[in-house]
Structure 1
Amino acid sequence: MKSVMYCFLLYSLSLMVFLTGSSQAAEYKASIANMPGYAESTEKGVLVDFVKAMSKASGTPISIVVEPFARSMNNAVEARTADFHLPLIVPPAPPSNHDFSTAVIFHVNFTLYTNKDSKVTRDNLDQFKIETDNAHIAYIKEKTTGSSSLENSLKKVDAGRLDGFIFADFACDPIIKTDKLKNIKRTLYHRFDVKIVLPKGGNGGPVDKFLTETIEKLKASGEFAKIMDSIDTPFDPWQPYEME
C-alpha cells in the first residue's frame, strides 16, 4: 500500500512539474523601445497595443517593459531578460549578434533632417556631421555619431549646430510640430522593413514561430491593419519650414 501511495505521489509531483514548466514556457516578455508614438509607456503606444493584441489573440501572457532603445535591444540580445525586442530596421547585411523574426511588422521611413539653409543632401552625407539614434549607428551606411535624444538632435539641426539627423519620421515629426522647429528640411533617406529582434539563433525557433502564427491570426481578423496602418505609411514630403 505504501509503495502504491509513493508511486501516486511521485506521479502527481512529476505532473505538477511538467504542467508548471509548460505554463512558464508559454509566457513571454517583450521589450519595446521608448519612442514617441511607438511606445511612450507600458500603456501607451502603437507597439504596446500591438503586443497586447498578440497576447489576446494567442491567449498567451506577454509582459511588457518599455526602455530606452539601446537598453531594450540589450534586454533581448545580451542580457536575455526579454524574449524579444521591437522594433528594429532590417539592414542590408545580416547582423552578427542577433536574429530577426520571420515576419515583417511594418515599414518605416527613415528621414534625413537638415537645416533648411544647409547644403547637405542624400548624396554627400559623408562630408558632414550626421547623427542618428545610438542603437542605429550600425544600420546607417554613412558615418554617423550617436544621439541619446531625438528632441535635442532635432533642435541642434534647427539651430544650425548639427548638419543632419537620420531617424524614423513617425517618431521625429511630432517633435518638430510640437516644438515648432521651422528651420528644418525633410528628405527621405530610406524606407526600411521593420522586424522583431530575437537572440542569436532565434530565427525559426519557438518564439519566432509563436510570433509568426500570432501575427497571421491578427492579419486574418483585420486587427493587425487596424493597429499598424497608423505607422506604416508612405513618405509625406511636407516641410517644417512651411508650417504656420
Structure 2
Amino acid sequence: MPAWATDLRASVAYIPTLAEPPSQGPFIELVKAMDEVYSEGSISIGVYPFARSIQNVTSDVADFHLPMLRSPHYSDEGRPFRLMNKPMGQVCLVLYSHVDDRLTPQQLYRHKHAQPYPYRLSIMRGSAQFIDLPVEEVNRIEQGLRQTSLKRVHGFLGAQEEADQVLRELQLKSIHRSLFECYDDVIILPKGERGRRTEAILQQALETLEAQGRLRQLHRKVHQPYQDWQIYDPPFGSAN
C-alpha cells in the first residue's frame, strides 16, 4: 500500500430511498463502487441525519460526507470544511410553493435585499449556508412540504428526487413545483492535509469510474435532469 493510501470513512446523509441505514440505496451503491476501484485501501460507510453527517467530517468521525450541492456564490472561506473540486454529477433543486401563490426563483431573488424579506422559505438542515437567500432549516423533507401545503411558509427548496418521492407519498395536491437551479453534486471534505489526501483518493476513484463509463450511470440512479410535472396533474391528480 502506498504511503499516502489509507482506509476511509464515508458519512452519507440519510435520504429516503436514496441512502438508508444500514447501507442501501443508490448513493450507497456509488460509494461502494468507489470502494471497489480503490485498491490501495477500503471505504467504510455510515448513514446519518444530514446535519450530523456534515458534522462528522469536522469532528474527525468521518473522512468525507455526501451529498452536497455547490452553488455559484459559495466560498470555503470561514467554513470548517471544504467542497471537493470534482463533482459526482448534477443535482436539480426544486422550489415547492403553494398552488395559490406559485413562486419562481426570479421572484425570490428580486426581493433578496428587501427588509424584511417578504418570503418565508425552508430547506433541509445543514444546507442553508449554500443558498444565497434568507432561508430557515427543517429536519425533514416532509416537514418542509407540509408547512408549504398549510401556507405556514411560502416555499420549500429540496433536491428533486428526494423531495419528489416524499411529495408523491404525501399526495399534497396543493403543492406546485418549479425548477430553482441545477448544481454540481459534490463531496464535503475536511480542510488541511487530511482533506487533500482524501480528495486525491476520491478523485482517482471517480475518474476511474468515469473512464469505465460507470460514474454517469451510477449517479443517474440518484439524480436525473429536471422533470417538469405537477402532483395535481394526471396521473397523480386523478381520482383513485
Q: State the TM bucket, normalised to the shorter chain.
A: 0.7 to 0.9
- Residue 23 of structure 2: aligned partner: 43
CA deviation digits over 1:121-156, x for unaligned, max 9? Answer: 323334111111121111111111111111121112
Pairs within 5 Å for 1:84-95: 84-91=64-71, 92-95=73-76
CA distance in 2, matches of 1:224, 1:109: 18
Picking from 206, 209, 216, the partner of 1:215 is 206
Maintained 8 Å contact 2:161/2:223: no
Per-residue CA shift, 1:78-114, capped at 9, x if unaligned? x011111111111323123212222110111111100
Deviates more, 1:166-175 or 1:222-231: 222-231
* Structure 1 partner of 2:112: none
- Paired AA for residue 144 in structure 1: V
Partner of residue 13, structure 1: none
* Structure 1 consecutive aligned stretches of length 4 or more whose deviation exceeds 3 Å: none
Structure 1 residue 226, shift from structure 2 partner: 2.5
The alpha carbon displacement at 1:202 in A equals 5.4
Going from structure 1 to structure 2, the CA distance change for 1:26 and 1:163 (only over 3 Å counts) comes to same
**1:192 partner letter:** Y
Tell me the CA shift for residue 204 of structure 1: 7.5
**What corresponds to 2:217 in structure 1?**
226
Secondary structure of the 2:35 match is helix
Aligned to 2:185: 194
- Aligned: 1:66 with 2:57: no
One-letter amino acid of the counterpart of residue 115, structure 1: H
Task: Show the 5 A alignment for 1:126-205.
Answer: 126-201=117-192, 205=196
Question: Higher helix share goes to which structure?
Answer: 1
- TM norm structure 2: 0.86
Which residue of 2 is the match for residue 124 of structure 1?
Answer: 107
Structure 1 unaligned regions, length at least 5 = 1-18
The question of whether the paired residues in 1 share the 8 Å contact of 2:23 and 2:46 is answered with no
CA distance in 2, matches of 1:119, 1:221: 43
The equivalent position to 1:82 in structure 2, one of 46, 59, 62, is: 62
- For 2:35, the equivalent position in structure 1 comes to 55
Residues 169-228 of structure 1 show CA distances to partners (whole Å, capped at 9, x for unaligned) of 111001111111111000111111111111113597221111111111111222222211
Count of aligned residue pairs for this structure pair: 223
Cα offset, 1:241, TM superposition: 1.6
* Alpha-carbon distance in 1 for matches of 2:126, 2:30: 22
SS at match of 1:124: helix
Q: Tell me if structure 2 keeps the 8 A contact 1:116–1:241.
A: no
What SS does the aligned partner of 2:105 have? coil
Say which SS state the counterpart of residue 102 (structure 1) adopts: coil
TM-score normalised by structure 1 residue count: 0.85
Q: Is the 8 A contact 1:108 1:191 kept in 2?
A: yes
Runs of at least 5 residues in structure 2 that lack an aligned partner in the other structure: 109-116
Cα offsets for 1:19-43 (capped at 9, x unmatched): 8x969x5211000011123311232
Identity of aligned residues (%): 28
- Change in 2 beyond 3 A, CA 1:143/1:62: same
CA contact (8 A) 1:42 1:48 kept: no
